[in-house]
Structure 1
Amino acid sequence: MRTPLSMLLLSPEAMTAVDRESAESGIDSYGLMVRAGRSVAAAALKYHPGALRFVVLCGPGNNGGDGFVAARALAESGATVAVHLIGDAAQLKGDAARAHADWIQASPQRPNELTAALSNYRPQAGDVVIDAVFGAGLSRPVPDSLAQIIKAVEEAGLPVLSIDLPSGIDGNSGAVLGAAFQAERSITFMTRKPGHLLMPGRAHTGTLEVVDIGIPERIVRAAAGPVQENGPLLWHEQTGALDAATHKYKRGHLIVFSGNALTTGAARMSALAGLHSGAGLVTIAAPEAALAANAAHLTAIMLRKIEDAQALAGFLEDRRANSFVLGPGFGDLSKARDYLPLLAQRNLVLDADGITAFKDTPQLLFNAFAQGETRLVLTPHEGEFARLFPDLSADDSLSKVDKAIQAARRAHAAIIYKGPDTVIAAPDGRAAINAHAPPWLATAGSGDVLAGIVGAHLAQGMPAFEAAAAAVWRHGDAGFRAGPSLSAETLTHHIHPLSQA
């Protein structure tokens, strides 16, 4: 199944290449600008029909050109419009200069202001601000003059409609470059940028609308890279349908390692999530001291005494034990390091304490899984990521996607870089940004549930990247179904079959 255009993500550089390719193929670039600007004007009138004045803040590039077109269309509709430009109108070039000239030509016949300096804008009650300053192409901090306007607009509580991406947001990383508009709504064209999905860009974008302005789909697809939004089309071909003759071992045997007697809950949540996610068998492997605490809470999940590496080696003689989760509530970092070499030929989800166990010797972990197909899935949050990949974490020149991809290559693992904008990455450079998750998933034990879902997918034979991406989406979906009052214990009961994704 072909990925819809709306799921593709184009970097600002790739979008520039799309614009260039469109012009070279004979498409009228100014015609595209006119369609873009008019779509912005239509949205402004649709969502703010009672505006006393539309204030269009324009930048020196094509984003500003879209703004001039929008201003003219709004004026032609009878609205009161004020245009403010950052920089000198005489320095405008190409389509932006033409759009400005058309705006000036239309202005004298209507009671509208001509183009004024950006610094002259003073917010007024009843204003609706159309942000056409920089869009997604900014890669440096906004100038002080714009930062002051952003602050004034925010303090006045005025609605902002941004063209492409709120000015001040990095289109690649979603980072705030000094200051950024908080848009009520953003209008972008053809498809989205990573900065629309990555935080804090996503929070600044508001409601996002994607408008088709007529660029041929083939040109957009040719420029798209390996980064997409996470969704069922990324992994639906890998889910597999269980045939009528299947048995429990064909659906995989997932083993979750338990911590000591006082920290068994995390492992049980992972195990229960694995069971609800389709694993044929789920076993908790626990030290003797934790057997009674686990046994008191288990029914369909099996229990096995695994006290040390020697006992684990004996258990692993059964090759049907094909997928493991190590880390939730585990506690014993030394034992985690002892277990690693024994698990290197199996599918392993390393979470929480399992990650922390290798903070001083990450290369030991990476070397263990360096050969063959990807069998390791790492699920770090921000702090855990910094423990395994301190140099990548500290590199502010890299986006979260860049960091995740480089980490995946280094570790030869699928990476689930958790957060409100979870990124899933593979060693081959593929990556997905997940937006399908509610904020109330940020609760104790939620990550343990996610680890169990990943483990179940690996047990059933899904490749590591697809298993991770599907688990993140399914985890978020369960969160939506559970609602704001969810707890990790109740979350597992809202995991629905992948066939319903």
Structure 2
Amino acid sequence: MTELLTSAQMRAIEQAAIASDAVTGLELMERAGQGVVDAVFEEWPALAKTSHRAVVLCGPGNNGGDGFVVARLLKQHGWDVDVFLYGDPDRLPVDARTNYDRWCALGPVQNLTLKTLHDLQNEHFSVVCDALFGTGLTRPVQGDLVPILKTIRLGLWPYERARLPLEHYVAIDVPTSICADSGELIVKEGDTLAHFRADLTVTFHAPKLGHYLCDGPDVVGKLAVKDIGLTYSCDHTVRLTGAGDDLDKEASRHKFSHGHAIVLSGAAGHTGAARLSARGALRVGAGMVTVASPKSAMLENALQLTAIMVLEADGPQALKRVLDDERINALCLGPALGVDTRAAKLVAVALEAKRKTVCDADALTLLSQDAGLFAKLHESCVLTPHAGEFKRLFPDIAEKLDAPAITGPAYSKVDATRDAAKRAGCVVLFKGADTVIASPDGKASINASLYERSAPWLATAGSGDVLAGFITGLLARGYAPHAAAEVGAYLHTECGLSFGAGLVAEDLPEELPKVFKMLGI
């Protein structure tokens, strides 16, 4: 799985490499600048074939130093390059100052002001490079930089792009004003346009959390990660989800070896969500799946299920009898279950059984309404809230997450999900295009339906019910809760990508065989 780093972790890796004499800071800066130029030419091959013109906006730190390297390398490639510095050259860090001096031997450096920017409006540039702050920004930009960034940002809007006829926007590490740890825009109230929006963002060694969270993906454009020769790693990193390596089944095993999952059904007229979950659980490989149905919905469920069994569980005592079967090892609670007293009692019985359990939809609402019920959660549970459900379950955490970011590192969706998991004492999967999965011990991962994995057709009724079923089926197969949430979310996105436009929830389980084949299973 791909590691995602915070800005502090990236600094620690760089400092460890420099301290070990494996590399100098100046060498890392040179490699970073070369990585940016390589990424630009890889993304737009035509730019490598003839000379063009670029603008490089350099800031007062090492990100600005990377910018001076980019300018020099483009100049050596035959380009005309205009370099601007926001800050005092005498206060640049040592390595950045060295690259400032190297650039000055080739061309001038202009002060970055609103006037100098306006002077460029009638000129054409192939590349504008944002080397202002990178991962080091911890407070909103101030002074002249606010209208400068607003002017550039307005020029990026498709219907206004002709105002500044600039073709390709490139950011080094992260676009200016984005928190590298949270993806939040760090801006003052009323200054939401005071940020850089890139077509291509080039980062080094490993992606940063902010590339995958909140506003980050909207302003990053396409993300390129360049190797700069660092071999060091950090503990407690967040990882992107993957398929895992144990989805296949052994030929010598039988259905009971792969578990028996129970999905609780809602009342008559409210049964479709449970069937979607059950189908997902069966397709993902659970050996047996049963829909536990109230008496009033037995016929409705039975008429639409074949491989999935139907069993009457008309109340809490009936469910207790069902759960006397110790072969039942995974439960799915919530999809269209209802939020009445009967449903609350069913959830209580299911949680008291201490089986691996997914709590979704109505079960989450019930948990948010009843502290006693919430207290029954255990380490084998997985909660799968979307933003609204998360807010009901963890209102204080959600309020902290939703607060405007005025300093960095800002409180992130990863921080919020970790705090929620610790409070609940179980795995929390916080849904979204940037789905975050966290355990009480702080382990966290992200399933990113972003960039090349963007799957907008998953935004359809019932999609979340199928995800709950995928996770339940994986729990039945023996996956630990965190791993089941990771793999279930990953497969869910892959099914959306595989089917594409026109997807409805019923298509997701049926797309799994194609996805498994693509994964070599």
> TM-score w.r.t. structure 1 length?
0.91
Deviation, structure 1 residue 98: 1.2
The equivalent of 2:419 in structure 1 is 406
Corresponding position: 1:88 with 2:83: no
**Distance change (3 Å), C-alpha of 1:413 and 1:88:** same
* Residue 24 (structure 1) aligns with: 19
Map of 1:176 onto structure 2: 185
Aligned mates of 2:478, 2:143 — CA distance in 1: 54
Instruction: Name the SS of the counterpart of 1:422 in structure 2.
Output: strand
Cα contact 2:347–2:363 (8 A) shared by 1 = no
Backbone CA RMSD of aligned residues: 1.9
Matches within 5 A, 1:92-491: 92-107=92-107, 113-119=108-114, 120-122=116-118, 123-127=121-125, 128-156=127-155, 157=161, 158=166, 159-178=168-187, 179-215=194-230, 217=231, 219=232, 221=233, 223-232=234-243, 235-236=244-245, 239=246, 242-344=249-351, 345-361=354-370, 363-370=371-378, 374-396=379-401, 397-436=410-449, 437=453, 438-491=455-508
CA contact (8 A) 1:333 1:354 kept: no
Structure 1 position 130, deviation (Å):
0.3
Q: Distance in 2 between matches of 1:62 and 1:398?
A: 24
Q: Sort the Cα spacing of 1:124 and 1:43 in 2 relative to 1 into closer, same or farther, 3 A.
A: farther
Report SS of the residue matched to 2:256. coil
1:288: Cα distance to partner? 1.4
Aligned residue for 1:72, secondary structure, equals helix
Rounded to whole Å, the distance in 2 between the matches of 1:290 and 1:332 is: 17
CA distance in 1, matches of 2:207, 2:326: 45
Amino acid corresponding to residue 448 of structure 1 in structure 2: D
Letter in 2 for 1:126: H
Secondary structure of 1:282 counterpart: strand
Alignment partners' CA distance in 1, 2:77 and 2:272: 63
Unaligned runs of 5+ in 2: 156-160, 188-193, 402-409
* Partners of 2:51 and 2:363 in 1: CA distance: 56
**Matched residue of 1:332: which SS?**
coil
* Change beyond 3 A, Cα 1:155–1:264: same
Bigger mean CA deviation after superposition, 388-397 or 328-337? 328-337
1:44 aligns with 2:51: no
Supply the distance in 2 between the matched residues of 1:38 and 1:146 (Cα, whole angstroms). 27
Equivalent position of 2:158 in the other structure: none
Q: Deviations over 1:422-473 (max 9, x none)?
A: 0111122111111255121111110000000000001111100001100000
One-letter amino acid matched to 2:396: D
Q: Structure 1 residues 224 and 182, CA, compared in 2 at 3 Å: closer, same or farther?
A: farther
Residue type matched to 2:317 in 1? Q
State the alpha-carbon separation in 2 of the partners of residues 357 and 51 from structure 1.
Answer: 64
Find runs of 4+ consecutive structure 1 residues off by over 4 angstroms. none
- Compute the displacement of 1:339 (Å): 2.1
Following superposition, the deviation at residue 282 of structure 1 comes to 1.0
Pairwise CA distance, 1:321: 1.5
Separation in structure 1 between the aligned mates of residue 27 and residue 284 of structure 2, nearest angstrom: 50
CA distance in 1, matches of 2:145, 2:290: 58
Shift of 1:317: 1.1
Partner Cα separation in structure 1 for residue 16 and residue 227 of structure 2: 16
Q: CA deviation at 1:13?
A: 0.7
Is the Cα contact below 8 Å between 2:334 and 2:359 reproduced in 1?
Answer: yes
Residue identity in the other structure for 1:34: E
Task: Give the match's secondary structure for 1:294.
Answer: helix
SS at match of 2:31: helix
Q: Cα deviations across residues 53-108 of structure 1 (Å, max 9, x unaligned)?
A: 2010111110000001111111122211111111222221211111111111222x
1:22 and 1:29 in contact (8 A); partners too: no
CA distance in 2, matches of 1:333, 1:381: 21
Secondary structure class of the residue paired with 1:148: helix
Whole-angstrom CA distance in 1 between matches of 2:128 and 2:40:
9
SS of 2:33's equivalent?
helix
| Unmatched segments (≥5 aa) in structure 1 | 108-112
What is the TM-score with the length of structure 2 in the denominator?
Answer: 0.88
Distance in 2 of aligned mates of 1:442 and 1:103: 49
Aligned residue in 2 for 1:110: none
TM-superposed CA distance for 1:125, in Å, is 4.8
Return the offset for 1:45. Answer: 4.6
